[in-house]
Amino acid sequence: MSLLVVELGRTEYVRAWRAMRVVHIGVSRGLIGDALILTEHEPVITIGKHGRTGNVHAWDIPVYVVERGGDATYHGPGQLIGYPVMRARWPIRAYLNMLEEAIIRALAAVGVEADRRADHRGVWSKGRKVASIGVAVESGATLHGFAVYVHGDIRDFSRVNPCGLHFSQIATLRELGYNVTMEEVKSNVVAAFSEVFGLRPMRADYEDIRAYLGVEEDRVGEPARAPRPGREGAAQSTLVQ
């Protein structure tokens, strides 16, 4: 079975979200096979559907509530974002374990010693979190996925309690002393992901997929902006589905 590898480059969050939703239509309806969307985001904060706005400390960049599990997190340049859109043929716990395993193998291939923790999802190196995971399943297909912190300013994470952690528990690979490039990590993530899931990677162009499906992006809408605490009519802390 093949894996469509779709590279979007550096994108505003809404555009990547829409691309993910378009591809999800194709996968969930059996019109295309499994896909892995890769991107880097412009600075953005996302909050999982049961997360808390109280975990956001700064509102100077867009903040969205999205379908995935987990709490608030920051994304920005220097993070490899992966959105696997796949037919959901594994129990969710097994699927999450496989995502972690793929990231651990990919990092090992570039000399990074990484592992998982029983008490917290994601991938860790030298006692700090270097990759986060948050997923959703709709209509029999997965959404959202993972972020690998390759480089960038770690102080950007101070805008949030990332996934309920203090931002000091987060680290980029560069900060930990690993001299790896985004392209190296990306290449090895594709290889390891394909190996773990037993798929054959093949490059695909997003616009070709969208044209084949005949789906206009405005049809899928856009993610919801988070209500800022303290504003009239806004939720004060807790976000619910």
In whole angstroms, what separates CA 13 from the centre of its chain?
11
Q: What are phi and psi of 23, to 5 degrees?
A: -65, -35
Q: Known catalytic residue: 163?
A: yes
Cα Dmax for the chain: 51
Task: Please identify which of the residues 45, 47, 163, 215 carries the catalytic annotation.
Answer: 163
| CA–CA separation, 59 and 42 (whole Å) | 15
Identify the burial level of 208 via C-beta atoms within 10 angstroms of its C-beta, where 0-12 means exposed, 13-18 middle and 19 or more buried.
Answer: exposed
| CA–CA separation, 130 and 103 (whole Å) | 10
Q: Are 150 and 134 in contact (CB under 8 A)?
A: no
Q: Are 45 and 72 in contact (CB under 8 A)?
A: yes
> Which residues does the annotation mark as catalytic?
163
